[in-house]
A and B are shown apart, each in its own frame.
Chain A
Amino acid sequence: MRTALADLLMLPKRQKTALDVQEEMQFHIDMLERKYAQQGTPIAEAKAAALRRFGNLERVKKQCVDISRRNRLLRRVLKAASILIALTGLSIRILSPDLKVAHIGDTLIMVAVAGRLLLYVRGLSPWTFLPRTRETSLSVITDTTEDGART
């Protein structure tokens, strides 16, 4: 129920991400099509060649949306956690008469501030430390006469 509600709340943003990805990919395909057409390839053939050259459009779109989504979700969770820790620290700091316990509050506030800073320093994003997945490829062309429009 909660997940369904969360999904519903995130739906417009998810749709926007998907639309942005779609627009970006479409621009690339249109540019390829234009290039082939300028080289004298008939329009229908240029369109087909552009799509072939681009590769699996649906798979690429899904990968990009997934990457954007997981990043956003993680950031949301980390932001919420840092706010919760800060509030806890602040409550302890204000409500505790004992100085030693108040120090725990200070520590929690500092942890929350550091966590928040970590999110702003994008290079220190937790995803940076995850192992890389191999989703890209390069090909070395042995036949230099090959052209995307003709393959």
Chain B
Amino acid sequence: MANDRTDLMQGTLELLILNTLARESMHGYGIVQRIHEAAEDLLKVEDGSLYPALYRMEERGWIKSEWGLSENNRRAKFYKLTRTGKRKLEAERANWNRISKAVTKILQAT
């Protein structure tokens, strides 16, 4: 298995989750699938690791959850962005763009 585990910047997973939930409320499995699809499977979130992140984000008030029925009629927990979460997403997006630009500039300069 040629699989390089690379530690990305802290907060990256939270940003991806916030961004995924910006469109619609989703359950954990849906969030992982959406991230994998969007990244064309180049970036993989460890499925189990998603949940502690979701619970912490809910604790911080960025997202909230409620039980509902999934597409196959099973009880599933759906997460959606709160107003605080939307603000956090905007801030994190801006932060990501700023850091990304800075790193690109440094790499091009050397």
- Give the B-binding residues of A (Cβ under 8 A): 20-21, 23-25, 27-28, 30-32, 34, 53-57, 59-60, 63-64, 67-68, 71, 121-125, 127-128, 132, 134-144, 146, 151
- Complex: A140 Cα to B43 Cα, angstroms: 5
Tell yes or no: B24 within 8 A of A by CB. no
User: In the complex the two chains form, is A141's CB within 8 Å of B41's CB?
Assistant: yes
B1-25 vs A, Cβ < 8 Å mask (1 yes, 0 no):
1111111101111000000000000
Beyond A64-B52, A139-B5, whether A123 also contacts B60 by CB under 8 A is yes
B70 touches A27 (CB 8 A): yes
B42 beta carbon closer than 8 Å to chain A: yes
Q: Could you tell me if A142 and B4 are in contact, using CB atoms closer than 8 angstroms?
A: yes
Partner of B4, one of A28, A34, A140: A140
Given B7, B59, B60, B72, which contacts A137 in the complex, CB threshold below 8 Å?
B7
Top 5 nearest A-B pairs (CB, nearest first) are A122-B61, A55-B48, A123-B84, A143-B2, A60-B48
- With both chains docked as a complex, state the minimum distance between the C-beta of A105 and any C-beta of chain B, in angstroms: 31
> Given the complex of chains A and B, what is the CA–CA distance between A31 and B11 in angstroms?
26
Contacts between the two chains (Cβ within 8 Å), count: 140
**Residue pair A28, B56 in contact (C-beta under 8 Å):** no
Of B12, B43, B60, B76, chain A has the most CB atoms within 10 Å of the CB of: B60
Q: Are B59 and A138 touching (Cβ within 8 A)?
A: no
B101 at the interface (CB under 8 A from A): no
Complex interface: chain B residues within 8 A of A139 (CB): 3-6, 43-44, 46
Bits for B42-76, please: 1 = Cβ < 8 Å to A, else 0: 11111111111101100111101000001010111
* A128 in contact with B60 given A64-B52, A139-B4 (CB within 8 Å): yes
State A20–B83 Cα separation when bound (angstroms): 25
Which of B1, B45, B72, B75 contacts A138, CB < 8 Å? B45
A136 and B1 alpha carbons, distance in the complex (Å): 21
B77 touches A143 (CB 8 A): no
| Distance between Cα atoms of A34 and B74 in the complex (Å) | 13
